[in-house]
Amino acid sequence: MRISQGEVTGMSDGTRRPEAVLEVKDLSAGYGGPPIVSNLDLMVGRGEIVTIVGPNGAGKSTLVKTIIGELRAMTGSVHLEGAQVTNVPTELLVRRGIAYVPQRNDVFGMLSVRENLEMGGYLLHKREVASRIEEALAYFPKLEELAHRRVVVSKLSGGERKMLAFARALMMRPQVLVLDEPTAGLAVQVARSLLREQVPALVSRGVSVLLIEQRASDALEISDWGYVLVSGQVRISASASEILGRKDIGEIFLGKVSADTG
């Protein structure tokens, strides 16, 4: 487990986590009826990769939409670096330090790779944009070769498009990057490469990562901490290695057994 800038959070199993960058407290959210997620707590520590996994319908999408301000919280709060950002619209959260890469529509197909990066830096002063683009392309050398190609015309692969989405999100140098199902629609080997190589590399660039992913085992293998979400509630909160080692994880996904939240 990577530890960065001071371990301040102690867990019941003796594991210590870094100070919280993103923290969700007692959050409930839904779409006008009963809440889809209820009384939910989670945190992302500085320099961590934190993964949320769970079966379809567990409430993962609702949780993400609430964190990034697309959906209003019914109760509870979201904090970034200790400051409350509950219900702050997505476009304003970018200024505060949260970037979001959606599962779909993550790049502009009619724009070139470089133009996509320019769009990612639309809040920057004009003189900063060029240097940030060069910085982003240095992180993803493959994209540098494609910089002037229009995304649709050049037919970027699924993996290249996702790298572009990551690079565009990094233009604002976020504190936290929220990745919603980044491997959706990708071939198995491409998906594994993305998780094992590209996502951990984000942390080396000073970004903490909140990852929502269906490929549970692959995601947890590269994570520091994990949350298992079932029926809108956290059923397990533990180190990723501990979750991977649980023999009852399949049954928990199916909602057949109870589990302590750690």
What is the average pLDDT value for the chain, to the nearest integer?
A: 87
Pair 113, 147: CB distance under 8 Å:
yes
Compute CA distances 178 → 56, 78, 90, 122, 124, whole Å: 19, 14, 12, 19, 20
Place of tokens 């999100």: 169
**The pLDDT of residue 3:** 34
Pairing verdict, β 37-45 and 20-29: antiparallel
Full-prediction pTM beyond 0.85? yes
Summarize pLDDT for 156-213 with one digit per residue, the tens: 888 888 999 999 999 999 999 999 999 988 899 999 999 999 999 999 888 999 999 9
DSSP helix/strand/coil, 252: helix
Place of tokens 């006008």: 32
**The pLDDT of residue 246:** 87
**The pLDDT of residue 28:** 98
Summarize pLDDT for 76-109 with one digit per residue, the tens: 999 999 999 999 999 899 999 999 998 887 888 8
Go through the domains of the chain in sequence order and give each one's CATH number.
1-8+17-97+214-262 (3.40.50.300)
14 has a pLDDT exceeding 70: no
Among 94, 174, 175, 171, smallest CA distance to 136 is for 171
Report d(CA 152, CA 150) in Å as an integer: 6
Summarize pLDDT for 210-231 with one digit per residue, the tens: 999 989 999 999 999 999 999 9
Report d(CA 61, CA 67) in Å as an integer: 10
Question: What average pLDDT score do residues 61-89 get?
Answer: 96
Residue 178 Cα to chain centre, angstroms = 3
Percent helix, strand, coil in the chain, to 5, is 35, 25, 40
Report d(CA 241, CA 57) in Å as an integer: 24
In DSSP terms, 25 is beta-bridged to 77
**The pLDDT of residue 36:** 97
